[in-house]
Amino acid sequence: MESPPVFISGDEVKRLLRYADLIPRLEAALAVLSGPGDSGVVQPVRSIIPLRNHNGFMGLMPAYMEAEGILCTKMVCFYKRGADSALPSTQATVLLLDPEHGNVKAIIDGHVITDMRTAATSAISAKYLMPAQAEVLAILGTGRQALSHYNVFTEIFSFKEVGYSCVSQYPHYSKLWSRRYWV
């Protein structure tokens, strides 16, 4: 008898996932995915379903890594919400499935994974594209993605100055940055 899926909360993901572990694995996965020939990785373009009556979209992002035996999909819903909304504009969940049988093995809160994976991918790009003498990090925006980019870039690179620009409808993010994250 199969066991029920494990639920992994955002707090648990935050406790367990580290850029030092994520970046090398992600860099290797990107190399395999973009390499020549049959990589054994299937990652179709994201499917988007409009949620017209609810002012949003749902994105589905499946992936299968044959050699590693990993089958998963990320589901993310995007909504246009006002600054006074108690709900975030993005909701994300990752499902990890057994590739042999198709049963769900884990349900994982996708916010931290999304934030860290996106920022780590940017950092990998910067590793190859950023001038070695770069001294200033400029971040456009002040939301969740800006914070995750700040975290990874200041963890793996050295900057003399970090600046940000906020054109957000959410002014509380700008206040948070000015108090805590200016280098």
The last residue of a domain, from among 64, 88, 116: 116
**Residue from 16, 94, 100 nearest 62 by CA:** 94
Q: Which tokens sit at 70?
A: 């990993």
pLDDT over threshold 80, residue 141:
no
Model pLDDT, residue 115: 93
Query: For the segment 89-135, what is each residue's pLDDT rounded down to a tens digit?
Result: 889 999 999 999 999 999 999 999 999 999 999 999 999 999 988 98
Residue with tokens 């504009």: 89
Q: Quick one: pLDDT band at residue 82, thresholds 50, 70, 90? A: confident
In a domain, 49, yes or no: yes
DSSP 66-95: TTTTEEEEEEEEEE---TT-SS-SEEEEEE
The total number of structural domains that make up the chain: 2
Asked if 28 and 108 sit in the same domain, the reply is yes
What pLDDT, on a 0 to 100 scale, did the predictor assign at position 181?
A: 47
- Helices then strands, counting H and E runs in the chain, come out as 5, 9
More confident residue, 178 or 55: 55
65 neighbors 40 (Cβ within 8 angstroms):
yes
Last residue of a domain, one of 116, 145, 172: 116
Q: What is the pLDDT of residues 13-72, one digit of tens each?
A: 999 999 999 999 999 888 888 877 677 888 899 999 999 999 999 999 999 988 889 999
| Residue of higher predicted confidence among 51 and 162 | 51
Q: Are residues 170 and 92 in the same domain?
A: no
Claim to verify: residue 24 and residue 86 sit in the same structural domain = yes
User: Are residues 135 and 172 located together in one domain of the fold?
Assistant: yes
Residue 166 lies in a domain: yes
CA 131 to chain centre: 25
Asked whether the CA dihedral 126, 61, 35, 64 is positive or negative, the reply is positive
Q: What is the CATH number of the domain that holds 49?
A: 3.30.1780.10
**44: helix, strand or coil:** coil
70 and 147 assigned to the same domain: no
pLDDT at 40: 80
Quote the domain boundaries for residue 160: 130-180
Q: Is residue 97 part of a domain?
A: yes
- Kindly state whether residue 136 falls inside one of the protein's structural domains: yes
**Same structural domain, 96 and 143:** no
Note whether 38 and 80 are same-domain residues. Answer: yes
The pLDDT value given to residue 177 = 56
| DSSP letters for 138-154 | EEE--SHHHHHHHHHHH
Q: How far is the CA of 3 from the CAs of 6, 10, 106, 125, in angstroms?
A: 9, 22, 10, 39
